[in-house]
Structure 1
Amino acid sequence: MSQTQPGNAKFVAARLQRGWHSQTDVAEAYQQHAALLGERATITVRQVRRWESPTPGWPNTLARRVLRNMFGMPLEELGFVPLQPVRRDTTAAAPGREDDSMRRRTVLGGILAGATPLLDPHALEHLAAAVTSARRYADHHLVAHLRTALDEAARTDGRTGPRQALPAALGILGAIDEIARDAAPAVRRELLVVGARAAEFTAWLHRDAGDPPHIATFFHDRAIEWATLTGDGPMHAYVLLRKAQATDRDDAARMRDLAQAAVHGPWTLPPRAQAEALQQEARAMALTGTAPDVVARTLDHAHEALAAAPPAEPATCTGPLCAGYTTDRLMAQSAICHREAGQPESAVVLLRQHLSRGDFAPRDRAFFTAHLAGALAAAGEPDEAATTGLAALGLAAAPHFGQALGELRRTVAALRPYARRATVRELRQALTALPA
């Protein structure tokens, strides 16, 4: 019996890491990156399919240039095989020097393509010089440029969703990964501190975009590695919290273990981050059937931690962990705990109260409104649940806030017994009509 020949797994993995979920996405990205290089070049889905086949061939000169710019890595690492060995003039350069130079140029192309919109010309020039010669040009000013770019990428995510922010986040992460190899020790540590934040943010973007879980796991692990290397215990714990939040409800025991490790591990989280981690632990307890009074005590500990925190600050990607975590957010998340514990009426009361008065970012308002719809469905209010779900969909659809959309799909599933009601049908049809 013949076996199906595997395709070019390296190319597929690389495009998924960059948020290109379909072969059509790759073709569109190819055209965009070609334009950045001053070329008017397109490819068809059929060509992408050929590159993902067991015999991808060796792209032509223009395609090689565009692909290196898109992925920021040598074509051999994308599964392509050169037609013939590359000849080197060993008298002109030391062994490996030419390969290293080519690698740096291709990495630089990928970095600049993603980060260009977020950096001013001086910062871009500084970044390009540091990729070429890290020991000479990687300094504290460069680290500051990368922090600024990362915070701007987070603002882009908040405005327009994860898909728009992913290229920049990957570009920043690639820059840090490349420059840190040869940077002086003091600068390398600063780069890796920012890198841990960038890796965690990239994991979040992939998660919210609906990518396969192993992609977020890859970036979470990178964030933990860099936090460990720099001795940043609070960041290590924070990534454990984010891993807990990314854990599926069907694996509540793992969610609980991760949240407990974040709270009780050999580190001290800042009070606001500790409050959020305790809340996540309470949610996992509710999912695993822990007694309601134990869940309530854990939520009380979260409120105590928040009460001990310094004043809230505007949330940024590189600032204090959970600096913008507020009482309204904690109460909205506590409502989710009540919902998970089978108390949807209590969840409805809390969510209505704090959504009406809290200052939530668009993504958070969409997410908690979607949970309100689910709580209303569980409380036996199908029409109000569907109407609330449509309001949440209006917030989440355009930027494609994946966590909110996931909760709305869960709500629609809960409303199946009421499928013939007009508002329920409208919500289901609106969700179905969303592009993949």
Structure 2
Amino acid sequence: MHPTRNAVLEAWMKEHGHSSNTLADAVNRAFERLTGRPGRYDGKTVRDWKSGRVRWPQAATRKALEDVTGLPAIDLGFIPRSRTSSAPGPPQEDSDMKRRTLVGGIAAAAAAAAAAPGAASPRRIGMSDVDRLQHRFSEIIASDHRLGGQLSIENRAAQLADEALNLQNSGSASQRVRSNLYACAASFRSSAMWAAIDGRRYEDAFSHMREAQALAEMSGDQAIKFRIWSHAGTMYRHIGRPADAHAANDVARSLHITKRDPMFASLGLAREAAIHGAAQNRTGTRRALDQAEEAMRRADPAAYRPVWLLAFYDQAELHSLALSAYLQLGDYPTAESHAHRSLANLRPYMLRSRAITTTRLAHAQLAQGEADAATATAMSVPGDTATQHARVSRMLQEFGAALRAKAQGTPIVHAWTEHTRDAWRTTAA
């Protein structure tokens, strides 16, 4: 049987003036923004999509395509592997409305199906359902890197975790699919946990952590177990419990995935360095950072990795963790050096990370007596982040207190006071 041509994709390309080569170039750029690695698509790749030889591209490819077109992969004529009919799916609802109603809708539909007399066999849950949830997870990750710490992100991630669990009860599924659904639920819970940590809502973070850990165990997914325990180490570091931070991070670093993929080992070591810094262990900090750099050099850049890791861990993040460590140690020149290197390597969409790194740079400059440069650096943090991100707001308040202590009554203190009163009040309003 000859494959069925993807007429939907062909029509979209014609409408938007794309040849196979120009669409491949656009997807390559989107793939690089998503993963940090160059895409390798070409005109033949797109022709395979149009001809139907490739009916359902890999997840990262689909996400890049969706970023280029603004449409879900199904709306571009692609057919999930588990779908048995070639008929087009129903029209797509507004994504915000779907987020608000999907959990309740799934639960109601499952209950109605179970209660209906003579109801047909329950629907089959497949990998296409998992793929849809993974696409939502990518959206959560993107929101986190733009905004970070927001209660709305935490709530949406928790809601999607519930959706993944509700899906378990809405039909039959293979063990592989069930494991993947538990992994999706754990992923969403870990994002809710991280949003709570980033927003300094630590009691909520503990609650999300316990649920995420249980779900990760049921999934058997090593990568998501690593993420949860690594986040736990960061949380304990933020609340001033370095011994617990070490213990949690050690659980993450002991997982087999760190031996299979040096990139996971590198992240675990870089976070270990930050914990050593908080514990005032200068030797441990240097050793862990050297080992993190060496592990990153050994990592295969083409290896498959989950989207949450691809989206943020690179040289910029390694330098950011080194900045945090040396700032805690009081080695301000070294901290400043790592801050500049982190900012130079940050990907454009890492808005939250840029604000945090910039604020830490201001602290390092002020501690070296450079009040004017430090204040200019702190003033460069965008007002919306300064007022809406709890961690950044707290660090900037601490910066203002330190500035007043060092330069009370000087014009630079007056300038900072005017800036925070006018620029931030305007943004907050």
For normalisation by structure 2, the TM-score amounts to 0.65
Which of residues 384, 399, 405 in structure 1 aligns to 2:393? 405
Is the contact made by 1:256 and 1:281 (CA closer than 8 Å) also made in structure 2?
Answer: yes
| Structure 1 residue 300: Cα displacement | 0.7
Which residue number corresponds to residue 153 of structure 1?
140
Which residue number corresponds to residue 126 of structure 2?
139
User: Cα distance 1:297–1:210, how it changes in 2: closer, same or farther (>3 A)?
Assistant: closer
Is the contact made by 1:234 and 1:268 (CA closer than 8 Å) also made in structure 2?
Answer: no
Which of residues 363, 378, 386 in structure 2 aligns to 1:389? 378
Is the contact made by 2:226 and 2:252 (CA closer than 8 Å) also made in structure 1?
Answer: yes
Question: What aligned pairs does 1:149-228 form with structure 2 within 5 A after superposition?
Answer: 149-161=136-148, 162-181=150-169, 183=171, 184=173, 186=175, 187-211=177-201, 213-228=202-217
Is 1:287 paired with 2:282? no
Q: Which amino acid aligns with 1:231?
A: G
Structure 2: gaps (5+ residues):
1-92, 115-121
| Structure 1 residue 155: Cα displacement | 2.3
Question: What aligned pairs does 1:238-249 form with structure 2 within 5 A after superposition?
Answer: 238-247=227-236, 248-249=238-239
Is the contact made by 1:313 and 1:324 (CA closer than 8 Å) also made in structure 2?
Answer: no
CA distance in 2, matches of 1:286, 1:397: 25
CA distance in 2, matches of 1:119, 1:391: 36
CA distance in 1, matches of 2:264, 2:418: 39
Q: Which amino acid aligns with 1:288?
A: A
The range that moved more, 408-417 or 216-225, is 408-417
Which residue number corresponds to residue 257 of structure 1?
247
User: Cα distance 1:327–1:118, how it changes in 2: closer, same or farther (>3 A)?
Assistant: same
Is the contact made by 1:313 and 1:323 (CA closer than 8 Å) also made in structure 2?
Answer: no
Which residue number corresponds to residue 48 of structure 2?
none
Aligned length, in residue pairs:
319
CA distance in 2, matches of 1:252, 1:412: 26
Q: Which amino acid aligns with 2:223?
A: P
| Structure 1 residue 197: Cα displacement | 0.6
Structure 1: gaps (5+ residues):
1-111
Question: What aligned pairs does 1:296-311 form with structure 2 within 5 A after superposition?
Answer: 296-311=286-301
Deviations 1:384-415 (A, max 9, x none): 222211212436147x2333223222322322
| Structure 1 residue 145: Cα displacement | 1.4
Q: Which amino acid aligns with 1:277?
A: G
Q: Which amino acid aligns with 1:230?
A: S
What's the % identity of the aligned pairs?
22
User: Cα distance 1:397–1:338, how it changes in 2: closer, same or farther (>3 A)?
Assistant: closer
CA distance in 2, matches of 1:235, 1:215: 19
Which residue number corresponds to residue 119 of structure 2?
none
CA distance in 1, matches of 2:141, 2:108: 22
Query: Any idea what SS the aligned residue of 2:313 has?
Result: coil
Is 1:344 paired with 2:332? yes
Is the contact made by 1:336 and 1:347 (CA closer than 8 Å) also made in structure 2?
Answer: yes
Query: Any idea what SS the aligned residue of 1:155 has?
Result: helix
Which residue number corresponds to residue 367 of structure 1?
356
Which residue number corresponds to residue 97 of structure 2?
116
Q: Which amino acid aligns with 1:416?
A: R
Is 1:274 paired with 2:284? no
Which of residues 297, 316, 319 in structure 2 aligns to 1:328? 316
| Structure 1 residue 281: Cα displacement | 0.9
| Structure 1 residue 347: Cα displacement | 1.0
User: Cα distance 1:118–1:152, how it changes in 2: closer, same or farther (>3 A)?
Assistant: farther
Query: Any idea what SS the aligned residue of 1:289 has?
Result: coil
Q: Which amino acid aligns with 2:235?
A: A
Q: Which amino acid aligns with 1:151?
A: S
Is the contact made by 1:176 and 1:192 (CA closer than 8 Å) also made in structure 2?
Answer: yes
User: Cα distance 1:219–1:167, how it changes in 2: closer, same or farther (>3 A)?
Assistant: closer
| Structure 1 residue 237: Cα displacement | 2.4
Deviations 1:181-228 (A, max 9, x none): 4653523222101111110011122233343x1111111221111111
CA distance in 1, matches of 2:310, 2:112: 35
Q: Which amino acid aligns with 1:338?
A: Y
Q: Which amino acid aligns with 2:97?
A: T
Query: Any idea what SS the aligned residue of 2:294 has?
Result: helix
User: Cα distance 1:267–1:132, how it changes in 2: closer, same or farther (>3 A)?
Assistant: farther
Displacement over 6 Å in runs of 4+? 123-128, 312-315
| Structure 1 residue 289: Cα displacement | 2.2
Q: Which amino acid aligns with 1:243?
A: A
Q: Which amino acid aligns with 1:116?
A: M
Which residue number corresponds to residue 34 of structure 1?
none
Is the contact made by 2:333 and 2:364 (CA closer than 8 Å) also made in structure 1?
Answer: yes
| Structure 1 residue 303: Cα displacement | 0.6
Q: Which amino acid aligns with 1:401?
A: H
Query: Any idea what SS the aligned residue of 2:309 has?
Result: coil
Is the contact made by 1:166 and 1:202 (CA closer than 8 Å) also made in structure 2?
Answer: yes
Across the aligned residues of Structure 1 and Structure 2, the Cα RMSD in angstroms comes to 3.5
CA distance in 2, matches of 1:120, 1:344: 50
User: Cα distance 1:152–1:354, how it changes in 2: closer, same or farther (>3 A)?
Assistant: closer
Question: What aligned pairs does 1:69-108 form with structure 2 within 5 A after superposition?
Answer: none
Query: Any idea what SS the aligned residue of 1:250 has?
Result: coil
